[in-house]
Amino acid sequence: MSTITRHESDARLSRAVVHNGVVYLAGLTADKRSAGMKEQTTEILHKIDTLLKTSGSDKSKLLSAMIYITDMRLKPAMDEAWLAWADAKNLPARACVETRLGTPDTLVEVMVVAAQ
Amino acid sequence: MSQRITRWECDAKLSDMVEHAGILYLAGQIPEDTAADTRGQTAEVLATIDRLLAKAGSDKSKLLSVVIFITDMRDKPQVDAAWLAWADPQAVPARAVLEARLLNAETRVEMVCVCAR
């Protein structure tokens, strides 16, 4: 049976869980919630870089990304940050839907799965 | 130990399907014919999933999980009708349905699948 490694765990969740060469990240949101959609997305994508590094992976090994945004009209701003960050040769399967998030000023949340 | 990753149907933003360690991850699939009703849109999405899985030599009998987003929970019976007409009754995946707003007002359904190869 392969082991499960957890990173940055608190009472409720782990920010990253690794099993069988696959890294599962928690839903990540921006700390700077006064920022707009593009900036919030960029902050989250940088958090993903850091967590993937901690987990022995990087964005070129992304498998899937689930993006939740609070207003579909802001999707172009999210996409702008995404395109500036993503590895164009190694893009994950991605979906983006509109939903309500943890706090009213949280505009975007991203949840990814990556290979190690 | 790093295993190979294969990606299908990539555009500027995403890959439609990614395979790693025998698992296929599909991007959110939406219908093209958004003039169709929710049942018709669902059937189109399911046909798209069939087509993508076939590219990797897999099929719906190997689906592991499916998350279905619909814009109006009152449409769920229509989604279920299309789903039941399509699903392999011997091998149904773990499934969830929830309400969300999608790409545009006309798009009624989106599905995110994970499947064994």
Reported pTM: 0.95
Set out the domains of chain B in order of their start, with CATH numbers.
5-116 (3.30.1330.40)
CA-wise closest residue to A16 among A63, A50, A59, A64: A50
pLDDT digits 0-9 by tens, A42-76: 999 999 999 999 999 999 999 999 999 999 999 99
Set out the domains of chain A in order of their start, with CATH numbers.
4-115 (3.30.1330.40)
State the Cα–Cα distance between residues B54 and B51, nearest whole angstrom: 5
Mean pLDDT, chain A, rounded, equals: 97
Residue A1 predicted with pLDDT over 70: no
Mean pLDDT by 10 residues, chain B (117 residues): 88 97 98 97 98 98 98 97 96 97 96 97
Kindly report the nearest CA distance between residue A90 and chain B, in angstroms. Answer: 8
Interface contact flag, B12 A88, Cβ < 8 Å? yes
Q: Does B16 touch chain A (CB under 8 A)?
A: yes
Fill in the amino acid letter for A96: C
- Residues whose CB is less than 8 angstroms from the CB of residue B53 and which lie 6 or more positions away in sequence, other chains included: B24, B26, B59, B60, B62, B115
Kindly report the nearest CA distance between residue A104 and chain B, in angstroms. Answer: 16
What single-letter DSSP state applies at residue B75? G
Fill in the amino acid letter for B2: S
